[in-house]
Amino acid sequence: MADKEKQLPIFRHLIEKGCLKQKVYRNTFQTLRLFKEIFRELTEEYNSMDKSCEDDIAFEYKEKSEFEIELKFAGDVLIFLMHTNVFEFPRDHFIQQNSYIKEDPDRSFSGMISIYNFLSDSLKYRRVNDIGYLIGRIFINKDNHFYIDGKKELRLFPNNFADMKMDEEKAREIIRSSIRYTIDFDLLTPPYNKVKEASVGEIIFARDTMSLKTGKRLGFKFQGDAEGRGEE
């Protein structure tokens, strides 16, 4: 009997932590479903409008899996990818100093949806060496509040977990900002000295697989690719 009483706190802790993480997971999954619905609506809006361009400029979305959606427009693809696990912010992260978190430490546990930008040709031609860019991460907690880190164009909301609750309006603005950033993030030629030599093997392989490495900022290092909070 005594041993069973000792085990009870462990079981209670297991149940409490498990329920917390399941709630965070459900909120994050619901946010991804909200993004899917907005993608669908935007695609319908785009296809119904008059376009002055002679060429057909693509704007379409695909549900790649339960946890991944793609939005293709012109020569770019945005990938919204939900991680299936739940994370906690590190102890030294500034979020942990927020009174909202200090009042209830469980609020720091979050699901994560990452937003990547790839060239559509990279995926179309399966150019496995091409480079994509993580432009933002959305963290959603048990209260359905969220925090975004990444490029400054996506840090459109105050870094205040307490006030930022996910809803359709905010989800739309996140998507619009991601699209605007991607449209203005242009493909630049790499420095000549980086690509002036190629082996016979590289050219033969490139013929077969379209494998010459391509990325919007390949060969350049610029301030906007700085890591961590405060990216520009």
Walking along the chain (232 residues) 10 residues at a time, the average pLDDT comes out as: 69 94 98 97 90 78 95 94 95 91 96 94 82 92 94 74 93 94 76 64 62 52 40 42
Q: Is residue 213 part of a domain?
A: no
User: Amino acid identity of 169?
Assistant: E
Q: Is residue 164 part of a domain?
A: yes
φ/ψ of residue 194, rounded to 5: -80, -25
Q: Is residue 25 part of a domain?
A: yes
> In the chain, how many domains are there?
1
Q: Is residue 201 part of a domain?
A: no
How confident is the model at residue 21, as a pLDDT?
97
Query: Between the CA of residue 192 and those of 12, 129, 137, 185, 218, what are the distances in Å?
Result: 62, 19, 33, 21, 12
> Which residues have C-beta within 8 Å of that of residue 136, sequence separation ≥ 6?
114, 115, 148, 149, 150, 151, 154, 174, 178
The domain containing residue 94 runs over which residues? 2-186
Q: Is residue 101 part of a domain?
A: yes
Spatial contact of 175 and 80, defined as CB atoms under 8 Å apart: no
Q: Is residue 191 part of a domain?
A: no
How confident is the model at residue 226, as a pLDDT?
43
How confident is the model at residue 195, as a pLDDT?
59
Q: What is the pTM of this model?
A: 0.81
Pairing of strands 109-119, 87-88: antiparallel
Rounded to an integer, what distance in angstroms lies between the CA atom of residue 132 and that of residue 185? 12
Q: Is residue 211 part of a domain?
A: no
Q: Is residue 229 part of a domain?
A: no
How confident is the model at residue 197, as a pLDDT?
65
